């Protein structure tokens, strides 16, 4: 057994454990009840996204075992392994530190157990990519395109940072931003926006560096700026989406509704994804 096949089997094991834990384990403990992935009082929107990402991670592991490299233009098995693994980790972390705080609840064992295999999966993609030859046929990016994409990414990532300061969740007379969290308040804020803050600031820094005349070096021979931007955009898009689905499913408080910050956060994440796909297409990358 070579190293690449061993990593593929390890990927399949971790992805399978992740799916089992999120499906079988408890997500939230409220009073005397334990609630699972699809319960409106348990995993809610975060659970739905978790299982979608989990199915994708298992499929990528099977593709890896089958020797398949390319999945989508510019996004191969290894790149998508990194992207989906990061998104799965951020989604679980956002639920634990964020959504559970909206109502008094304890963390279920399933979501905690699933966090550990999810957090290891991106590292497998990085290890495999580092061992591969650089992909041939990638075109240099025109300066005008680089500047355009960098400006778009800069503006959108400012939105990722700033929009959670707007109303994120409202429940009757209580309005909360994505950063709120009052001790003793039965409706505490999401707080998952700290994840968005980190993602947004990283993209802002990268965009500013790419606006320099010489730009910025790629993350690696097989990991382009646009593929890293896709990962950031997906995280920035999925956290507001999970919040929105959770609010729509919520039974604990019928008056709960999404604020303007959630909708603008969705838009910012979608713009980052679109910019990343446009740049990847301009480079002619196929993914490995």
- For the chain, give the mean pLDDT: 83
Rounded CA separation 274/226 (Å) = 10
- For residue 232, is it within any domain? yes
Does one domain contain both 168 and 275? Answer: yes
Residue 64 sits in which domain range? 3-131
Question: Do 63 and 101 belong together in one domain?
Answer: yes
The per-residue pLDDT for 133 is: 63
Predicted pLDDT at 43: 80
Low-confidence ranges of the chain (pLDDT < 50): 288
Residue 136 inside a domain? The answer is no
Statement to judge: residues 147 and 126 lie in one domain: no
Structural tokens at position 90 = 């951020």
| C-alpha span between 102 and 263 (Å, rounded) | 18
Q: What's the distance, Cα to Cα, between the start and end of the chain in Å?
A: 21
Residues 123 and 218 in one domain: no
Q: Quick check: is 138 in a domain? A: no
Residue 185 has what pLDDT? 57
* Contact (CB, 8 A) for 81 and 124: yes
In sign, the C-alpha dihedral spanning 70, 72, 73, 75 is negative
The confidence score (pLDDT) of residue 288 equals 45
Give the length of the chain.
288
Q: 120 and 16 in one domain?
A: yes
Final residue of a structural domain among 90, 109, 131: 131
Report the CATH number that the domain containing residue 57 is assigned in CATH: 1.20.140
Q: What confidence score (pLDDT) does residue 271 get?
A: 96
CATH number, residue 250: 1.20.1440
Domain presence at residue 16: yes
pLDDT of residue 137: 63
Q: Are residues 12 and 112 in the same domain?
A: yes
CA-based R_g, the chain, Å: 19
User: Strand, coil or helix: what is 263?
Assistant: helix
**277 shares a domain with 149:** yes
Single residue among 131, 161, 176 that ends a domain in this structure: 131
Extract the tokens encoding 144: 């005008």
In the DSSP assignment, the letter for residue 179 is: T
Look at residue 28 and give its three-state secondary structure: strand
Do residues 96 and 180 share a domain? no
Question: Are 165 and 122 within one domain?
Answer: no
Predicted local confidence at residue 175, as pLDDT: 78
Looking at the structure of the chain, the number of domains it has is 2
Residue indicated by tokens 């709120």: 180
Cα 83 to Cα 126, 129, 157, distances in angstroms: 11, 13, 18
Q: Which of 89, 107, 131 is where one domain is finished?
A: 131
Asked if the structure places residue 288 within a domain, the reply is no
pTM value is: 0.88
Q: Is 184 in the same domain as 262?
A: yes
Sequence-separated (6 or more) residues with CB below 8 Å from residue 156:
203, 233, 268, 269, 271, 272, 275
CA atoms of 141 and 282, how far apart (whole Å) = 7
């Amino acid at each position: 057994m070579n190293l690449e096949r061993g990593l593929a089997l390890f990927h399949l094991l971790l992805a399978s454990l992740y799916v089992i834990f999120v499906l079988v384990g408890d997500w939230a403990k409220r009073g005397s009840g334990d609630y699972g992935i699809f319960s409106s009082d348990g995993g809610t929107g975060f659970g739905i996204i978790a299982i979608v990402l989990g199915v994708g991670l298992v499929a990528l592991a099977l593709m890896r075992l089958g020797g398949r490299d390319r999945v989508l233009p510019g996004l191969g098995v290894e790149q998508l392994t990194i992207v989906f693994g990061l998104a799965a980790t951020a989604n679980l972390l956002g639920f634990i530190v964020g959504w559970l705080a909206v109502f008094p609840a304890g963390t279920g064992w399933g979501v905690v157990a699933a966090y550990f295999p999810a957090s290891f999966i991106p590292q497998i993609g990085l290890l495999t990519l580092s061992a591969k030859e650089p992909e041939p046929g990638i075109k240099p990016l025109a300066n005008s395109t680089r500047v355009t994409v960098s400006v778009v990414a800069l503006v959108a990532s400012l939105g990722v940072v700033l929009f959670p300061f707007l109303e994120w969740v409202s429940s009757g007379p209580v309005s909360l931003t994505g950063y709120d969290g009052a001790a003793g308040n039965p409706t505490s804020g999401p707080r998952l926006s700290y994840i968005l803050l980190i993602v947004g600031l990283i993209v802002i820094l990268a965009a500013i560096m790419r606006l320099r005349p010489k730009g910025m070096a790629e993350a690696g021979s097989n990991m382009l700026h646009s593929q890293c931007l896709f990962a950031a955009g997906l995280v920035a898009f999925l956290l507001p989406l999970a919040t929105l689905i959770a609010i729509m499913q919520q039974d604990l408080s019928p008056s709960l509704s999404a604020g303007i910050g959630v909708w603008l956060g969705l838009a910012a994440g979608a713009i980052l994804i679109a910019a990343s796909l446009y740049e990847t297409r301009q480079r002619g990358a196929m993914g490995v």
